[in-house]
């Protein structure tokens, strides 16, 4: 009799046990591309949308996630801390404080960071017809754009020379004034001449670097850095020409000394704007 009772019990318990051990239904995969695109559409498209004739910073493709992700000046996929986009958002510089749509919430910031950390994927296509389609290849960068981006990166190498040389020339000229020397200092002349030779390619490379998208997230700083730097470059070349004339005359003119002082201030100011653009206003916070 015992075995006759055991059989119904086993039959009854087995389905219950299997049901209890069944795995929970899989949760749908998070579509970070769609989420971050909604964030960009709500908070960024007013200034950087594709429909704008003159988007800020010439960055008008914020809703084209593939294009954003393929621009290393903006996003380094899987590395949010190395991505300028996240750095600007993390420093609360983007959107700017005066944005009509307000700043990003903590959740929206985390969405952007998670999107970059996940490899900056595009929004998923929910259509079943496209679910089995092969992943489209990233857009190709045209050869001229690639060349502009590559050459523009040398701006970061070249910029140190005119800055250091103009500061050295300014200090050297101050020493000459303090000593009461009326003749041109050979050391100052050497620094000014080299600064003039270095500043020309530095300015050109800077424009190429900006054209490739560098600084697009900080339009006011980019404008100040670009135009003050251009004025500084022209000024340094003019100062070098005046200094060469003084060498031929054998006497340092007051005008060249004033021009040298102004040129040094312009170069340092340009470097300051570039530093703010690259590292933020809070870089030296205690």
> What number of other Cβ atoms are within 10 A of residue 161's Cβ?
16
pLDDT of residue 1: 46
When pLDDT is averaged across residues 75-96 and rounded to a whole number, the result is 84
When pLDDT is averaged across residues 24-34 and rounded to a whole number, the result is 69
When pLDDT is averaged across residues 34-38 and rounded to a whole number, the result is 89
pLDDT of residue 167: 97
Cβ-count burial of 138 within 10 angstroms (0-12 exposed, 13-18 middle, 19+ buried)?
Answer: exposed
Q: What is the DSSP string of 180-193?
A: T--SPPHHHHHHHH
In sequence order, the 6+-apart residues with CB closer than 8 A to the CB of 124 are 29, 31, 33, 34
When pLDDT is averaged across residues 137-150 and rounded to a whole number, the result is 72
When pLDDT is averaged across residues 232-238 and rounded to a whole number, the result is 97
Domain boundaries, the chain: 32-122, 149-279
pLDDT tier for residue 201 given thresholds of 50, 70 and 90: very high
Taking the C-alpha atoms of residue 255 and residue 224, their distance in angstroms, rounded to an integer, is 26
CA distances from 76 to 94, 151, 159, 197 (A): 17, 19, 24, 34
The answer to whether residues 31 and 123 touch, using CB atoms and an 8 Å cutoff, is yes
Of 6 and 180, the structure prediction assigns the larger pLDDT to 180
Percent of the chain with pLDDT strictly greater than 70: 80
Of 149 and 156, the structure prediction assigns the larger pLDDT to 156
- Provide the mean pLDDT of the chain: 81
- Identify the weakest region by mean pLDDT among 9-23, 61-75, 118-132: 9-23
Whether residue 232 has pLDDT greater than 80: yes
Taking the C-alpha atoms of residue 86 and residue 78, their distance in angstroms, rounded to an integer, is 12
When pLDDT is averaged across residues 184-200 and rounded to a whole number, the result is 96
The answer to whether residues 168 and 186 touch, using CB atoms and an 8 Å cutoff, is no
> What number of other Cβ atoms are within 10 A of residue 125's Cβ?
13
pLDDT of residue 14: 46
Taking the C-alpha atoms of residue 10 and residue 15, their distance in angstroms, rounded to an integer, is 9
- In this structure, what token pair is assigned to residue 174? 């101050």
């Amino acid at each position: 009799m015992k075995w006759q009772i055991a059989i119904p019990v086993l039959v009854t318990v087995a389905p219950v046990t299997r049901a209890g051990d069944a795995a929970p239904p899989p949760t749908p995969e998070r579509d970070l591309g769609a989420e971050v695109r909604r964030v960009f559409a709500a908070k960024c498209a007013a200034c950087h949308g594709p429909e704008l004739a003159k988007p800020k910073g010439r960055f008008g493709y914020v809703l084209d996630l593939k294009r954003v992700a393929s621009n290393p000046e903006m996003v380094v996929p899987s590395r949010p801390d190395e991505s300028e986009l996240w750095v600007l958002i993390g420093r609360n510089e983007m959107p700017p404080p005066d944005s009509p749509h307000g700043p990003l919430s903590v959740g929206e910031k985390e969405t952007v960071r998670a999107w970059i950390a996940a490899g900056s994927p595009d929004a998923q296509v929910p259509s079943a017809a496209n679910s089995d389609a092969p992943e489209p290849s990233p857009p190709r960068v045209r050869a001229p754009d690639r060349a502009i981006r590559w050459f523009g990166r040398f701006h970061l190498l070249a910029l140190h020379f005119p800055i250091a040389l103009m500061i050295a020339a300014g200090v050297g000229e101050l020493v000459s004034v303090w000593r009461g020397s009326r003749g041109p200092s050979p050391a100052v002349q050497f620094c000014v001449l080299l600064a003039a030779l270095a500043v020309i390619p530095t300015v050109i490379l800077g424009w190429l670097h900006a054209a490739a998208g560098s600084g697009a997230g900080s339009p006011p700083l980019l404008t100040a850095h670009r135009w003050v730097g251009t004025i500084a470059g022209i000024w340094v070349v003019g100062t070098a020409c005046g200094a060469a004339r003084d060498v031929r005359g054998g006497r340092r003119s007051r005008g060249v000394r004033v021009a040298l002082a102004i040129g040094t201030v312009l170069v340092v100011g340009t470097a300051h704007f570039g530093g703010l653009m690259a590292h933020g206003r809070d870089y030296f916070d205690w």
